[in-house]
Structure 1
Amino acid sequence: MKKLIAMMAVGLWLASPLVASDPSPLRTLMTGDESRGWEGVGRLNIGAGGLCTGAMIGENLVLTAAHCMFDKTTGERVQPKDIQFLAGWRNGRASAYRGVRRAVVHPDFTFSGDDKAARVVNDLAVLELDQPIRKSSVKPFAIHSRPRKGAEVGVVSYAHDRAESPALQEMCKVLARQSGALVLSCSVDFGSSGAPVFVVQDGKPAIVSVISAKAMVRNIPVSLGTSLEKPLADLMDMLANGDGVFARVQPVSRPPVSNFGTGAAGPGGAKFLRP
């Protein structure tokens, strides 16, 4: 992952004008018409005040970031009963409300440790809802293969300062791919963890990654996404085999935010934050 950081610093220095100007602005989805087709993205309420973003990949399955399933202060896993999925949450109402029966994180994900940047590679979790969501307006998303460098992607996310309606960034770019992670020009903030990264195929969005962290490289904001291919296959196997249930009880008191390093990024360096 040190190679990833170095590559980001050099590559973004060379391409900084493109990174600064190319992504489209965030657009808040305020109305039913604006939100149509995105109802499968929802807000995750976690414990006493935690906030993340999740997206449906099945009638009873939600994809999000693994670190959302941990209490930032204690490091304890959050019990499934303390998690609620609000599909299409907008202006005080959701298209569907569901609890969580099971939650699995990737077995190679470590919430604490020295190599914090490397955690991005396995920062993936799947939640099994207590009841399926079967509504014509709320559709799960397909999964697509990892996009190439330079590909155009989009993100739908909630955040701490826009927690009441989702925001859509229709176009940002894959700046680099390395070691199971994607470096993106997409705009994210605290609460955006777990947000789906999309490509559009034949007019339909498909998920290619999940937001894990945001970073500053030479004062250029970027985001880091987890590649889905192998980590998601591992999680689906765990669900099928009944593995991975979160057992320890600790409520999360606030949205998960974790420093990936401290201090300003120096030449060739990066500062990482969990959104």
Structure 2
Amino acid sequence: MRTVLAAFVLIFSAMFTHAEEADLKRLNTGVDSRGWEGVGRLDIGGKGFCTGALVAPDLVLTAAHCLYDKTTGRRIDLDQMEFLAGWRNGRALAYRGIRRAVTHPSYRFNTSNGAERVQMDLALLELMQPIRNTQVQPFMTAPRPHRGAEVGVVSYAHDRAEAPSLQEVCNVLAVQAGVIVLSCDVDFGSSGAPIFQMTPNGAQIVSVVAAKAEMDGEQVALGSDLTTAYRELEAELANNRRTFETGPNGPQRIVVGENRHHTGAKFVRP
């Protein structure tokens, strides 16, 4: 969703073996989207959208930068936002306004530390009413995946706004400074999209899309680390704290890991 450019230095280790990645699959039908209905489109003032995922009947996990106006840097009024659970081809399984929203306490929209900005780019939205629909089930969260792990992502984007798309297999390329680097295919509108890892208990959210980047001509996604951050978000909401900040959204430099084997990349908010 965001079009802000920045540069970052990424420590990208040598070649390693990983599974062949899957192409994006558009979830056009009820059969295709079965099990993914808890992912929805977060509409923002009729001017854009992000992706979010239900993590409780009344809570949606998304990216913190989705709550800010990219031009002014100010927080967007919650009455301009609506979560459309399972949005597909003009209809949603549930429509909900947003009652409250918190960003991670360490997140600052106008921070000069790009790595921290991605690492803590997380928000929890409390819905006006819980979603009590047997078709729309919340997802569990889990600690960050290890390097080389296979993950998947379900997201909306500017060229697939009317139905979500699933990439069943992409890979964790690196985990550095709390930023997860992934080979997942994301684009504008994918901000806040859940990144899943399959477990014996089903698909669990292990990260949230915070940004996309181009490196050596290849597209990568950057994800936020949920390991401790999700519990901290829950605490912020439980204590009714507000951590919104305002300010200009300018160029940043992201440094992931130590400054060895530099590879330049362009960074944008998806």
Residue deviations 1:222-272, cap 9 Å, x none?
A: 100001022211110011111127699xxxxxxxx98656xxxxx621211
The TM-score, its normalising length taken from structure 2, stands at 0.88
Look up the match of 1:15: 15
Where does structure 1 lack aligned partners over 5 or more consecutive residues?
249-256, 262-266
| Distance 1:176-1:246 versus aligned 2 partners, 3 A rule | closer
Report the equivalent of 1:269.
264
Structure in which a larger fraction of residues adopt strand: 2
Gaps of 5+ in 2: 1-7, 254-261
| SS of residue matched to 1:193 | coil
1:181 equivalent in structure 2: 179
Does the alignment pair 1:116 with 2:114? yes
Distance across 2 between alignment mates of 1:60 and 1:212:
22
- What SS does structure 1 have at the residue aligned with 2:161? coil
* Residues 25-71 of structure 1: per-residue CA shift (max 9 Å, x gap): 00000000000100000000012312100000000000000000000
Q: What pairs up with 1:1-275 in 2 under 5 angstroms?
A: 5-8=9-12, 11=13, 14-15=14-15, 22-202=20-200, 204-244=202-242, 268-275=263-270
Question: Is the alpha carbon distance of 1:62 and 1:49 closer, same or farther for their aligned partners in structure 2, counting shifts above 3 Å?
Answer: same
Report the secondary structure of 1:34's partner residue: coil
CA RMSD of aligned residues (A): 2.2
Shift of 1:181: 1.3
Aligned-partner SS, 1:164 = strand
Q: Percent identical across equivalent pairs?
A: 53
TM-score normalised over the length of structure 1: 0.87
Contact preservation (8 Å) 1:259, 1:274 = no
CA contact 1:43–1:88 (8 Å) conserved in 2: yes
- Greater RCO (Cα-Cα under 8 Å, separation 6 or more): 2
Q: 1:120-160, CA deviations, whole angstroms, 9 ceiling, x for partnerless residues?
A: 01000000000000111000001112111100000000001
Paired with 1:15 and 1:162, the residues of 2 have a C-alpha distance of 32
Query: Which secondary structure state, in structure 2, belongs to the residue aligned with residue 234 of structure 1?
Result: helix
Superposed displacement of residue 203, structure 1: 6.1
Aligned residues of 1:103 and 1:245 also touching (Cα < 8 A): no
Relative to total residues, which structure has the larger helix share, 1 or 2? 1
CA contact (8 A) 1:152 1:173 kept: yes
Paired positions, count:
254
In 1, the alpha carbon distance for the partners of 2:94 and 2:29 equals 16
Q: Please report how far the alpha carbon of residue 107 of structure 1 lies from its aligned counterpart in structure 2 after TM superposition.
A: 1.6
Q: Could you tell me which amino acid in structure 1 is paired with residue 68 of structure 2?
A: F
Deviates more, 1:112-121 or 1:47-56: 112-121
Once the two structures are superposed, residues 211-232 of structure 1 have per-residue CA deviations (whole angstroms, 9 ceiling, x without a partner) of: 0000111111110000102221
Kept in 2, the 8 Å contact 1:45–1:85? The answer is: yes
Residues 143 and 31 of structure 1: CA distance in aligned 2, closer, same or farther (over 3 Å): same
Q: CA deviation at 1:116?
A: 2.6
Per-residue deviation at 1:115? Answer: 2.6
- Going from structure 1 to structure 2, the CA distance change for 1:260 and 1:172 (only over 3 Å counts) comes to farther
Confirm or deny: 8 A CA contact 1:153 1:198 kept in the other structure.
Answer: yes
1:81/1:100 contact within 8 Å kept = yes
- What is the CA–CA distance in structure 1 between the aligned matches of 2:166 and 2:106, rounded to whole Å? 31
- The corresponding residue for 1:264 is none
Post-superposition shift, 1:111? 1.0
Q: Distance in 2 between the 1:71 and 1:83 partners?
A: 12
